[in-house]
Amino acid sequence: MDKERLYHIGFGTEDLDGCVEGALLCGDPQRARRIAQETEGLECLRVLSENRGLNSYLCAKEDGSSLVISTSGMGAPSLSIVVNELVQIGLRKIIRVGTCGGIAERVKVGSLVISQAALCRQGAANDIAPRDYPAAADSFLTVALAEAAGRLGFDYHLGLTASVDTFYEGQERGDSANPHLLREFQGITEEYRRLNILNYEMESGTLFKMGLVYRFAAGCVCAVLSERGNSEKVVVELKQQAEEAAAQVALAVL
C-alpha cells in the first residue's frame, strides 16, 4: 500500500484515517458529491481530492464504518486508472453505482440492474486480461447487492450486462452526429436481447476483469434511464430518484 498521494486520485492511505476497505464508484463527479454529502445516515468526513475532476470523499456510516466515494470518469480507460490506484492504497471492495439503458423488454426506466457478468467490448479490459477472459462480478458481493435491493423494496433485475466503449455507435444509437453505423452494430441491440442481456453501460466489464486479476471484490448496480426497445431518449425526470436507489443498495452492502 502506497502512503504517498497517488497521481490521479490525489490521495493516499494516510488520508483514510485507518482501515477503509470499500469504495463506491461513480462516473459522474456530481453524483459522487450528492451521495457523499446529501445521503441520510451518511456523514461526509472530508473531501479527499478534487483532482482532475475525479472527486473523492471519505465518509462514515451510522454504524461507524468508513468508506470512500470516488469518481471514475466516463468510460473504461478512466475507470481503469482510478481503480488501479484505489487498489494500490488498499481498497478491496469496489461497487460501481452507475446509469444504464435497458435492453431486455422487462427492464423499465427507474428500475435497477445488478450485473452478474458482462459481455465486454472494451479496449481497456484487453490491456488487463485477454479478450476471452471472463468479466464476472464477485459472486458474494452480487448476492449481497440483490438481497439489499429486495430488502429495500426496489424493483431490480439480476443478470448480464453489455459493457461497451461508446455511448452512440457501440449502443446502436441513431440520434448521433454519425448516422452511418458499422455493419457489426446494425441490429446488435436486438441480438443482445435474444441473448438475454439486460442493459448497456460503459464500465463494468473492465471493472470485473480488474477485480479478478487484481484480486478485489467488484460489483455493479445501475439505475435504468432509458428503454432501448422503445426509445433512445434518456428519461432525465427519473434520473436522481433512480440513482439514489442504486446508491442506497450499494451503501447497504459496503
Sign of CA dihedral 25, 72, 206, 190: positive
pLDDT of residue 237: 87
pLDDT of residue 3: 58
Which stretches in the chain have pLDDT values below 50?
A: 1-2
Domain coordinates of the chain in residue numbers? 13-253
Cell numbers describing residue 17: 484515517
pLDDT of residue 1: 41
Asked whether 204 and 159 are in contact (CB, 8 A), the reply is no
229: left (phi over 0), alpha (psi -120 to 50) or beta: alpha
pLDDT of residue 193: 98
Asked whether 114 and 161 are in contact (CB, 8 A), the reply is no
Cell numbers describing residue 176: 448521433
Q: Which is it for strands 66-71 and 156-164: parallel, antiparallel or unpaired?
A: unpaired
Report the length, in residues, of the chain. 254
pLDDT of residue 38: 96
The number of beta carbons lying within 10 Å of the beta carbon of residue 140 is: 12
pLDDT of residue 232: 81
Q: Which amino acids are annotated catalytic?
A: 8, 85, 173, 228
Looking at domain 13-253, which CATH architecture does it have?
A: 3-Layer(aba) Sandwich (3.40)
pTM here is: 0.95
Q: CA 167, 202, 231 angle in degrees (round to 5)?
A: 45
Cell numbers describing residue 250: 450499494
